[in-house]
């Protein structure tokens, strides 16, 4: 996906939030044909089970709550249908789906990531086109302009996303005050802030690096700066640059500066995404770099009201803080081999038609990929949520995650290489060489 389309999608998201923030609370958008239906009549139909693999296992996450509510509502309206939830953390889900795909036993509904990550599933014929489902009940029109492009190949859309986000740094204002530090305006100040907080017994940052994409997401923001803007991976893919380019080597060096300064919690690679995030949500860390999708979970945690956000700063004087890591979000896809394809699409249509309303009601509407109707402030959203919506307005472009931009083989080598930096310091040029070797091996 090119930068123009990426920017278009994020800016569209900005406009959607901006325009709807002044609106009034809306009614449910509607319901699908079967979902709107006749429970008594449906009770006479054959019983079917739809497997719904998802990445919302955390019961405190607004998305977990909205998913369970929508499922319960749908099952009440369609008593012949049981939605069987398979809730996994992100890396568990990716591994499980990989195994399932190898045996062509993909769940009725599963989760895929955009662009290069989902391309192999599409090419293998494992996913069903969703064009007809998107045309049902006006669902397609609820998505922000351009966002579905990330999930479309050869004129067909194969997944529907739940989010359209940017990478930000959340910070605990109380811990910043206790540590006597201010919001860093450069990466070098961020490293010094880490050292100061650590010297005062405050955990500077947290991350769930057992799920390897988390460290990569942070690293890629550093690379976005050292490259003086987006497009590094695109240039590597086009063989205009290599991973041994000075910008990449510098990014590795800076990443290690942050790690070696003691930024992250002990045993960081044994914490999965939820465990790492929960340290921040329980007030045990001062900073947390993550996609803006984390806003809802933080708002419903014990640190609500104490958290602010800031843009990832310049690195070595390079880069523009208004360029962000862009995360169009994971998407729901339907198995092409589903025994209940019609019913599965019907449920997914119902879920996505109701998603914006339920996300808004559950304080999870920041960074949703669809237009959200409702007055955020009147609904009790925090100042932090409003800050996030303002950051969306500043977006001047950015990069997608590494594993959304590169083929799976190169991506896996990258994820492992960056994870290793959290447990062992390495020569940056050796890390760069690891990447280039993997890229060449997977691009013959």
pLDDT (tens digit per residue) in 42-86: 556 789 999 999 999 988 888 999 999 999 999 999 999 999 999
Q: Which two tokens stand for residue 63?
A: 């998305």
Please give the CATH topology (third level) of the domain spanning 48-164+329-373: D-Maltodextrin-Binding Protein; domain 2 (3.40.190)
Looking at residue 40, what is its pLDDT?
53
- Region 26-43: what's the mean pLDDT? 43
Q: What's the pLDDT score for residue 226?
A: 98
Which helix (H) or strand (E) segment holds residue 440: the answer is: helix 428-441
Among the listed residues 351, 414, 392, 438, the one whose alpha carbon sits nearest the alpha carbon of residue 72: 351
Name which of 368, 336, 369, 333 is nearest 348 in CA terms. Answer: 333
How far CA 322 is from CA of 99, 251, 270, 311, 420, in Å, comes to 39, 18, 32, 7, 29
Evaluate if residue 17 carries a pLDDT over 50.
no
Residue 27 has pLDDT above 60, yes or no: no
**Could you tell me the CA-to-CA distances from 43 to 81, 239, 341, 397 in Å, in that order?**
9, 59, 19, 51
Q: By CB neighbour count within 10 A (0-12 exposed, 13-18 middle, 19+ buried), where does 173 fall?
A: middle
d(CA 60, CA 390): 26
∠ CA(30), CA(34), CA(40), 5° rounding? 115
Query: If you write DSSP's letter for every residue of 141-196 in order, what string do you get?
Result: GGBPTTGGGGGEETTEE--EESB-EEEEEEEEHHHHHHHT----SBHHHHHHHHHH
pTM equals 0.76
Query: Above pLDDT 90, what percent of the chain?
Result: 72
pLDDT-derived band at 4 (thresholds 50, 70, 90) equals very low
The enclosing H or E element of 49 equals strand 48-54
Q: What is the mean pLDDT of residues 249-254?
A: 98
Q: Is 46 exposed, middle or buried (0-12, 13-18, 19+ CB in 10 A)?
A: exposed
Q: Is the dihedral of CA 405, 406, 407, 413 positive or negative?
A: negative
Site of tokens 């290599």: 242
pLDDT(437) > 70: yes
pLDDT at 23 over 60: no
For residue 39, pLDDT beyond 60 = no
pLDDT of residue 60: 84
Mean pLDDT, rounded, for 295-321:
94
| pLDDT at position 15 | 36
- Bridge partners (DSSP) of residue 143 are 370
Domains 48-164+329-373 and 165-327+385-442 share a fold: yes
- The pLDDT of residue 12 is 42
Q: Give CA–CA dist 80/42, Å, rounded.
A: 6
d(CA 174, CA 330): 33
- Predicted pLDDT at 153: 95
Take residue 358 and report the two structure tokens written for it.
């339920």
| pLDDT higher than threshold 80 for residue 415 | yes
Q: Give the start-to-end residue ranges of the domains of the chain.
A: 48-164+329-373, 165-327+385-442
Q: Encode pLDDT of 403-414 as tens digits.
A: 888 988 999 999
Strands 324-327 and 398-399: parallel
For domain 165-327+385-442, the question of CATH label 3.30.70.100 is answered with no
Q: Is residue 162 predicted with pLDDT exceeding 80?
A: yes
Q: Give the span between the Cα atoms of 294 and 170, in whole angstroms.
A: 9
How would you classify the pairing of strands 165-172 and 160-161? unpaired
Q: How far apart are the first and last CA of the chain?
A: 22
In the prediction, which pLDDT does 16 show?
A: 38
**Using N-to-C axis directions, what is the helix angle for 213-226 and 246-260, rounded to 10°?**
130
Q: Contacts for 245-251 with beta carbons within 8 Å, 24 or more apart? A: 245/432, 247/223, 248/223, 248/432, 248/435, 249/428, 249/429, 249/431, 249/432, 250/226, 250/315, 250/316, 250/428, 251/219, 251/222, 251/223, 251/225, 251/226, 251/227, 251/315
pLDDT over 60 (residue 235): yes
Give how far Cα 38 sits from Cα of 35, 50, 164, 279, 348, Å. 8, 19, 35, 46, 19
Amino acid 389: pLDDT: 80
């Amino acid at each position: 996906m090119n930068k123009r389309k990426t920017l278009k999608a994020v800016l569209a998201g900005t406009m959607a939030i901006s325009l709807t923030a002044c609106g009034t609370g809306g009614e449910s958008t509607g319901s699908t044909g079967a979902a709107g239906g006749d429970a008594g009549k449906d009770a006479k139909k054959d019983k079917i089970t739809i497997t719904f693999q998802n990445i919302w296992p955390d019961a405190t996450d607004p998305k977990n709550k909205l998913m369970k509510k929508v499922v319960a509502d749908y099952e009440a309206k369609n008593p012949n249908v049981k939605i069987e939830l398979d809730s996994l953390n992100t890396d568990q889900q990716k591994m499980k789906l990989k195994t399932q795909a190898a045996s062509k036993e993909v769940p009725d509904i599963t989760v895929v990531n955009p662009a290069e990550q989902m391309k192999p599933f599409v090419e293998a014929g494992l996913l069903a086109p969703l064009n007809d489902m998107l045309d049902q009940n006006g669902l397609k029109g609820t998505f922000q302009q351009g966002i579905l492009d990330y999930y479309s190949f050869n004129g067909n859309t194969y997944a529907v996303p739940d989010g359209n986000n940017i990478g930000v740094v959340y910070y605990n204002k109380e811990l910043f005050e206790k540590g006597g530090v201010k919001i860093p305006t450069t990466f070098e100040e961020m490293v010094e802030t880490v050292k100061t907080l650590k010297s005062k017994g405050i955990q500077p940052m947290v991350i769930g690096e057992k799920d390897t994409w988390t460290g990569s997401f942070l690293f890629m923001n550093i690379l976005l700066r050292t490259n003086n803007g987006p497009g590094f991976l695109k240039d590597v893919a086009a063989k205009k640059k290599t991973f041994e380019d000075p910008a990449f080597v510098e990014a590795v060096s800076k990443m290690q500066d942050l790690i070696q300064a003691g930024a992250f919690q002990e045993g960081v690679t044994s914490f999965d995404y939820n465990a790492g995030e929960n340290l921040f949500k329980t007030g045990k860390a001062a900073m947390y770099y993550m996609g803006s999708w984390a806003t809802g979970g933080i708002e419903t945690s014990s640190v609500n009201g104490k958290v602010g956000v800031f843009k990832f700063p310049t690195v070595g004087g390079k880069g523009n803080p208004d360029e962000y890591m862009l995360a169009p979000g994971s998407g729901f896809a339907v198995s092409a081999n589903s025994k209940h394809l019609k019913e599965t699409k019907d449920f997914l249509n119902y879920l996505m038609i109701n998603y914006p309303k339920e996300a808004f009601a559950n304080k999870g509407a920041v960074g949703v990929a669809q237009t959200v109707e409702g007055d955020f402030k009147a609904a009790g959203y925090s100042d932090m949520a409003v800050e996030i919506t303002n950051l969306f307005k500043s977006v001047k472009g950015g990069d997608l995650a590494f594993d959304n931009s590169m083929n799976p083989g190169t991506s896996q080598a990258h994820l492992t290489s960056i994870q290793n930096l959290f447990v062992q310091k390495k020569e940056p040029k050796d890390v760069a060489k690891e990447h280039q070797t993997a890229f060449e091996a997977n691009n013959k």
